[in-house]
């Protein structure tokens, strides 16, 4: 089974990069399952039901998110009805939506996806270690050997890495999102789990993490100005990773995908 996981979509440039490159990646790499983080896809802040439908039409199977999931108010009444749109699992129990889901790939393999958010430099949510561990335990009981993928949405590389090593050997793959910068530390950890600190973003890299660079610079150099941040509008780059998973739910091959825009290889 081949799984494609893409980083945060940022604004129109990010959406256009996904529209342009996703179908050809799915075809060329014989992708069976697609996961993408969509929490910045609506003008850089949040996601809408319309964008969700467009992504599903393009072949996306699951949309993960993070701290911007509630930025578009229309998502509150919508998220409970969409089993493929995830929010971090360590929000309080009465939060709308779901933090994980179990799905089937094109070939019929079971794929579980868990979305969790870090706490360092982020919102003060429930313990991500305990939250994910309880989900894994329930998945193991119900489904046995399952390809479990975790999207860790977090600012701190150390917290992401700690979560990675903590769950090494317990899940198939752990990938990070949120910083919008693709890391080069793709690896199989000691106990067999694939790990990457951050997938990067799908967006315009002639920017400051996807946002208009002039407005961002003003925020840092002129603290008295309250400039509105908007996504950069140039050509976007799609960033992600392709995983080849065997029948024992182990990643046996992986490669980084960087297509289009300023970062294309």
221-257 per-position pLDDT tens digit:
887 667 788 999 999 999 999 999 999 999 999 999 9
Tell me how far the alpha carbon of residue 188 is from its chain's centroid: 19
What CATH code is carried by the domain that includes residue 46?
Answer: 3.60.21.10
User: What's the mean pLDDT when you consider all of the chain?
Assistant: 96
Percent of the residues in the chain that have a pLDDT greater than 70, as a whole number: 99
CB 182 within 8 A of CB 176: no
Q: Band of the pLDDT at 141, cuts 50, 70, 90?
A: very high
Compute the average pLDDT of residues 96-120: 97
Share in percent of the chain as helix, strand, coil (round to 5): 30, 25, 45
**Quick one: 145 exposed, middle or buried, by C-beta within 10 A (0-12, 13-18, 19+)?**
exposed
Answer yes or no: is pLDDT of 146 > 90.
Answer: no
Q: Band of the pLDDT at 6, cuts 50, 70, 90?
A: very high
Q: Which domain holds residue 190?
A: 2-263
Active-site residue (options: 68, 153, 178, 180): 68
How many C-beta atoms surround the C-beta of residue 191 within 10 A? Answer: 10
pLDDT value for 223 = 74
Please give the model's pTM, rounded to 2 decimal places. Answer: 0.96
Q: What is the DSSP letter of 101?
A: E
Count up the domains in the chain and report the number: 1
pLDDT value for 228 = 81
Angle at 45 between CA 42 and CA 46, to 5 degrees: 70
Q: Poorest-confidence range of 115-124, 168-177, 214-223?
A: 214-223
Compute the average pLDDT of residues 78-98: 97
Q: What is the pLDDT of residues 7-57, one digit of tens each?
A: 999 999 999 999 999 999 999 999 999 999 999 999 999 999 999 999 999
What kind and span of H or E run contains 258? strand 251-259
How many C-beta atoms surround the C-beta of residue 81 within 10 A? Answer: 10
Q: What are phi and psi of 8, to 5 degrees?
A: -55, 125
pLDDT value for 145 = 78
Q: Band of the pLDDT at 263, cuts 50, 70, 90?
A: very high
Compute the average pLDDT of residues 97-117: 97
First-residue to last-residue Cα distance in the chain: 25
CA distances from 261 to 9, 48, 56, 205, 211 (A): 14, 25, 23, 7, 15
Return the residue matching tokens 């941040």: 229
Catalytic site residue 68? yes
């Amino acid at each position: 089974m081949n799984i494609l996981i893409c980083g945060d979509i940022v604004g129109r440039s990010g959406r256009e990069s996904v529209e342009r490159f996703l179908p050809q990646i799915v075809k060329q790499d014989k992708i069976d399952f697609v996961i993408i983080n969509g929490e910045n896809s609506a003008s850089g802040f949040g996601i809408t039901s319309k964008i969700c439908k467009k992504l599903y039409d393009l072949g996306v199977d699951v949309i993960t998110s993070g701290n911007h999931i509630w930025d578009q108010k229309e998502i509150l009444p919508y998220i409970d009805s969409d089993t493929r749109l995830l929010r971090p699992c360590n929000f309080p129990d009465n939060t709308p939506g779901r933090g994980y889901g179990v799905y089937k790939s094109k070939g019929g393999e079971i794929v579980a996806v868990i979305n969790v958010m870090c706490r360092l430099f982020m919102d003060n949510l429930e313990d991500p270690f305990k939250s994910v561990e309880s989900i894994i335990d329930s998945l193991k009981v119900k489904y046995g050997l399952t390809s479990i993928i975790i999207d860790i949405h977090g600012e701190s590389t150390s917290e992401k890495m700690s979560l990675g090593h903590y769950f090494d050997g317990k899940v198939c793959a752990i990938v990070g999102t949120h910083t919008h910068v693709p890391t080069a530390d793709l690896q199989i950890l000691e106990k067999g789990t694939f790990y990457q600190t951050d997938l990067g973003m799908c967006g315009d890299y002639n920017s400051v993490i996807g946002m208009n660079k002039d407005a961002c610079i003003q925020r840092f150099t002129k603290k008295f100005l309250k400039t509105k941040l908007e996504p950069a509008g140039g050509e976007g780059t799609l960033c992600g990773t392709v995983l080849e998973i065997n029948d024992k739910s182990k990643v046996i091959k992986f490669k980084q995908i960087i297509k289009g825009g300023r970062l294309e290889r």
